């Protein structure tokens, strides 16, 4: 394609008009002192033109000139396609001198779009040149793509080209300064959300260097040092660095090779004030925790009053930022570290588990629980207990710490994850073979361990700890001081139990638990004398969960106390309704769990239920199991005495399944013994069953007690028990357990028996 004018045109190289050389000399005289050319970084300018003479003429015309005290360096591209490659690979280009018409009429404008939209080069300045004025871009295009200038090549004399480049470079410099300032602010804001203290402080400090350089109009180059309270400057360390100092991060201040920089930072920390000399500015930050910091940047000019005012404001604001970052770091320490043992805590350990799950083969998790640690605390005090934990942690680290991760999971349990050959039952057991020396005392300790091979579990993070807890519980049931590996079957069982407990809790809160009543009769004439209140659970899907599945869960979780009170109150109010319907002498039996029996407010709950329902104790009977009655005889006797004070009677349920002695039974002085349904079922078919049933009846008769049998299903069983001397019974032969709205009409339909 032909060109109207080229940069090699004699018109361009002719002497400039009068006065232009003076103007050029004035423009070239920077307002700042000239730096050493050996240390000056040139402004990089890309010439894009398909005319080789234009490249030569431009570089010749600008030879030896400087802008803002820095020389010019030229890169060349003979086409828009070649320019795309240069732009994509060459950083820090300040200006593009771009021919509009090259391979095509709009090749130059298409390249502009590529720079702004695809490469997103916002700072680079663009000067369009053309030898064909008819191809000038529209004003909208100039605005949309941030084009600095548009000139015909015939206009660009040496002086005018220099003027255009100077304006473009100054604009580029200002944009870069704004970008650096924004970048510094973003880094400082980002530092406040970092999860690691070290990285957070480092990133914040890097932001300080970047923003400080932006404020002073210099490239990011500097470093930040920190020292703790009472440490000499020889112990100060580099916590952030940029530019030529970037390789010094986490090194001592003494590792800084530039003597004036090292000495300036040392004096700044020692004197506790800002210092500016020898082309460097060093700012001092005193923090409340006794720590001090110094930030140094190189500034190759004298600072004026405005600079000093900015620096004072900068120091004031940044000191607060340093305080916040350090405080955040302390919070992270507390969140991820155990303060007593100076090791990771449960939260951090879960993260370590997640990391190990990336390559689980050959890795085992151990949950190590110290046996009887609560007794040590009770006997010797918590301070001694802390020393025990420290001694255990130290030995675990010495014997198992190599290539493992260790943490404190609970007050007296440690987590360990590492190779199978280090983390196993034998290695853990060996840690506790020798006694521990604690505060001059030789202490023999043991620990029970739950183990999980990571490849055997599909759990993640905290769920892995749950698997280890399941294995630990199983190990304690088998042998304290032993170890047990987790199996998927254990997990299924435990999670089903947990799911059941969760459903039970929700059902109780949503009132889906209800009470049914099974009538009790005289065996001789089948006259109704009372009923036993029984708890039932129906899920939202309508499925009934057997009591022998959910009652033990309720007892283990402590939920049985609240559920037991609900049953007691419900039964008392139903008793009141039955008595009001003319069933005089009717007795309501209510089962009491061990947790209820032991609860300090049990008697108060009992009295309140009876008072609210307005029932007398003579119509209420509380059933406790034989094992409960025999557990702690002195405590049981004290509670029984308080129960009798309310007027209520007591029956021993499931009698014959425990190991009561005659003397203990006599001391209890209860009103009724209840034969377990298992012995009723076996009474006719088994000699042993018949013997136990006969023994219970005889024992009750000898102590003046009434005897009641449960689970009677046939007439033959009724007659057999009657012949043994049993007084009362309940079971499907007489009636199934029924809700209150069925019990009341059932009682009314049996007037002859209920009288």
Per-residue pLDDT tens over the stretch 288-334: 767 788 888 888 777 766 677 667 767 766 777 677 777 766 676 67
Pairing of strands 93-99, 43-48: parallel
Q: How far is CA 8 from CA 3, 50, 134, 273, 507, in A?
A: 12, 13, 21, 58, 93
- 611 versus 636: which is more confidently predicted? 611
Beta carbons within 10 angstroms of residue 217's beta carbon = 17
Least confident of 14-28, 360-374, 400-414: 14-28
User: Residue range 470-486: average pLDDT?
Assistant: 89
Question: How is the beta sheet containing 413-419 ordered, strand by strand?
Answer: 405-410, 413-419, 363-370, 447-453, 483-485
Q: What is the mean pLDDT of the chain?
A: 82
Element (H, E) at 106: none
Residue 179 CA to residue 165 CA, distance in Å, equals: 21
Most confident of 137-151, 235-249, 287-301, 372-386: 372-386
Nearest 5°: CA angle at 439, between 436 and 442? 35
Q: Is the CB of residue 656 less than 8 Å from the CB of residue 695?
A: yes
Say which DSSP state 505 is in.
H
Res 615 pLDDT > 80: yes
What confidence score (pLDDT) does residue 441 get? 87
Q: How far is CA 447 from CA 308, 364, 474, in A?
A: 65, 17, 14
Element (H, E) at 533: strand 528-538
Residue 620 CA to residue 592 CA, distance in Å, equals: 12
Which of 507, 517, 602 is closest to 549 using CA atoms? 507
User: Residue range 9-32: average pLDDT?
Assistant: 45
Nearest 5°: CA angle at 233, between 227 and 235? 65
Element (H, E) at 219: none
Tokens of 350: 């879960």
Residues 6+ apart with CB under 8 A from 245: 221, 222, 223, 238, 256, 261
Residue 429 CA to residue 331 CA, distance in Å, equals: 36
Residues 6+ apart with CB under 8 A from 390: 340, 341
Q: Write the pLDDT tens digit of every residue in 546-592.
A: 998 899 889 888 899 999 999 999 999 999 999 999 898 899 999 99
Tokens 């320490």 sit on residue? 333
What confidence score (pLDDT) does residue 96 get? 94
What confidence score (pLDDT) does residue 393 get? 93
Q: Is the CB of residue 652 less than 8 Å from the CB of residue 673?
A: yes
* Beta bridge partner(s), residue 261: none
Residue 172 CA to residue 180 CA, distance in Å, equals: 12
Q: Is the CB of residue 724 less than 8 Å from the CB of residue 694?
A: yes
Beta carbons within 10 angstroms of residue 552's beta carbon = 12
Dihedral sign computed on CA atoms, order 710, 545, 606, 659: positive
Res 389 pLDDT > 90: yes
3-state helix, strand, coil in the chain (%, to 5): 50, 20, 30
Residue 484 CA to residue 447 CA, distance in Å, equals: 12
Tokens of 134: 């008819």
Residue 489 CA to residue 321 CA, distance in Å, equals: 53
Beta carbons within 10 angstroms of residue 15's beta carbon = 9
Helix axes 197-216, 305-336, angle to 10 degrees: 170
Tokens of 288: 């409340």
Residue 522 CA to residue 188 CA, distance in Å, equals: 85
Pairing of strands 706-710, 672-675: parallel
Dihedral sign computed on CA atoms, order 380, 381, 385, 386: negative
Taken in order of first residue, the domains within the chain and their CATH numbers are 10-178 (3.40.50.2300), 192-336 (3.30.450.40), 342-486 (3.30.70.270), 501-748 (3.20.20.450)
Q: Is the CB of residue 731 less than 8 Å from the CB of residue 713?
A: yes
Least confident of 424-428, 572-576, 604-608, 676-680: 676-680
Residues 6+ apart with CB under 8 A from 405: 344, 349, 352, 356, 416, 417, 418
Least confident of 203-207, 239-243, 308-312, 668-672: 308-312
């Amino acid at each position: 394609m032909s060109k109207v004018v080229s940069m090699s045109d004699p018109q361009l190289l002719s002497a400039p008009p009068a006065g232009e050389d003076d103007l050029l000399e004035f423009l070239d005289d920077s307002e700042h002192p000239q730096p050493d050319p050996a240390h000056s970084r040139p402004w990089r300018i890309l010439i894009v033109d398909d005319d080789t003479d234009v490249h030569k003429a431009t570089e010749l015309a600008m030879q030896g000139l400087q802008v803002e005290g820095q020389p010019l360096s030229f890169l060349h591209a003979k086409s828009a396609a070649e320019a795309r490659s240069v732009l994509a690979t060459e950083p820090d280009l300040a200006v593009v001198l771009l021919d509009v018409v090259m391979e095509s009429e709009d090749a130059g404008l298409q390249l502009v779009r590529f720079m702004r939209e695809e490469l997103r080069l916002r700072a680079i300045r663009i000067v369009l040149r053309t030898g064909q004025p008819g191809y000038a871009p529209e004003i909208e295009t100039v605005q949309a793509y941030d084009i600095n200038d548009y000139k015909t090549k015939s206009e660009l004399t040496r002086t005018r080209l220099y003027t255009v480049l100077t304006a473009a470079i100054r604009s580029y410099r200002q944009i870069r300064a704004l970008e650096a300032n924004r970048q510094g602010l973003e880094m400082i804001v980002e530092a406040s959300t970092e999860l690691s203290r070290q990285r957070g402080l480092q990133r914040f400090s890097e932001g300080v260097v970047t923003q400080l350089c932006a404020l002073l109009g210099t490239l990011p180059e500097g470093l930040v040092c920190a020292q703790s309270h009472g440490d000499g400057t020889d112990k100060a360390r580099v916590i952030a660095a940029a530019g030529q100092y970037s390789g010094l991060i986490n090194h001592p201040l003494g590792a800084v090779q530039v003597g004036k920089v090292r000495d300036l930072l040392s004096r700044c920390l020692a004197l506790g004030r800002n210092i500016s000399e020898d082309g460097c500015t060093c700012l001092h930050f005193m923090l409340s925790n006794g720590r001090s910091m110094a930030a140094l940047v190189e500034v190759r000019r004298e600072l004026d009053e405005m600079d000093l005012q900015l620096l004072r404001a900068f120091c004031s604001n940044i000191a607060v930022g340093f305080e916040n970052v350090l405080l955040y770091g302390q919070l992270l320490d507390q969140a991820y570290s155990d303060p007593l043992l100076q090791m990771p805590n449960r939260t951090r350990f879960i993260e370590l588990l997640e990391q190990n799950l990336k390559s689980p083969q050959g890795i085992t998790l151990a949950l190590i629980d110290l046996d009887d640690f609560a007794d040590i605390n009770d006997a010797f005090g918590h301070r001694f207990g802390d020393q025990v934990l420290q001694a255990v942690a130290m030995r675990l680290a010495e014997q198992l710490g190599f290539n493992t991760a260790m943490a404190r999971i609970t007050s007296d349990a440690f987590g360990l994850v590492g190779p199978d050959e280090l983390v196993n039952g034998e290695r853990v057991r060996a840690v506790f073979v020798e006694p521990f020396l604690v505060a001059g005392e030789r202490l023999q300790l043991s620990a029970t361990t739950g183990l999980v091979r990571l490849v055997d579990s599909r759990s993640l993070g905290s769920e892995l700890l749950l698997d280890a807890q399941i294995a630990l519980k199983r190990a304690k049931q088998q042998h304290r001081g032993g170890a047990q590996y987790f199996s998927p079957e254990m997990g299924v069982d435990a999670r089903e139990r947990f799911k059941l407990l969760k459903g039970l809790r929700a059902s109780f809160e949503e009132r889906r638990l209800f009470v049914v009543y099974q009538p009790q009769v005289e065996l001789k004439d089948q006259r109704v004398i009372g009923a036993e209140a029984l708890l039932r659970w129906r899920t939202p899907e309508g499925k009934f969960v057997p009591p022998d599945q959910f009652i033990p869960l309720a007892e283990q979780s402590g939920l049985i106390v609240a559920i037991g009170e609900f049953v007691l109150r419900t039964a008392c109010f139903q008793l009141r309704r039955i008595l009001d319907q003319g069933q005089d002498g009717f007795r309501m039996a209510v089962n009491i769990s061990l947790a209820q029996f032991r609860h300090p407010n049990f008697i108060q709950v009992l009295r309140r239920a009876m008072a609210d329902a307005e029932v007398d104790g003579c119509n209420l009977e509380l059933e406790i199991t034989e094992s409960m009655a025999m557990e702690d005889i002195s405590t049981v006797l004290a509670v029984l005495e308080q129960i009798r004070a309310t007027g209520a009677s007591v029956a021993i349920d499931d009698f014959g399944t425990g190991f009561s002695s005659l003397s203990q039974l006599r001391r209890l002085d209860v009103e009724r013994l209840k034969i377990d349904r298992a012995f009723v079922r076996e009474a006719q078919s088994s000699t042993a069953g018949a013997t136990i049933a006969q023994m219970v009846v005889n024992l009750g008769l000898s102590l003046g007690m009434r005897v009641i049998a449960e689970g009677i299903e046939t007439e033959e069983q009724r007659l057999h028990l009657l012949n043994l001397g049993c007084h009362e019974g309940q079971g499907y032969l007489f009636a199934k357990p029924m809700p209150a709205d069925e019990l009341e009409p059932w009682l009314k339909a049996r007037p002859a028996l209920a009288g």
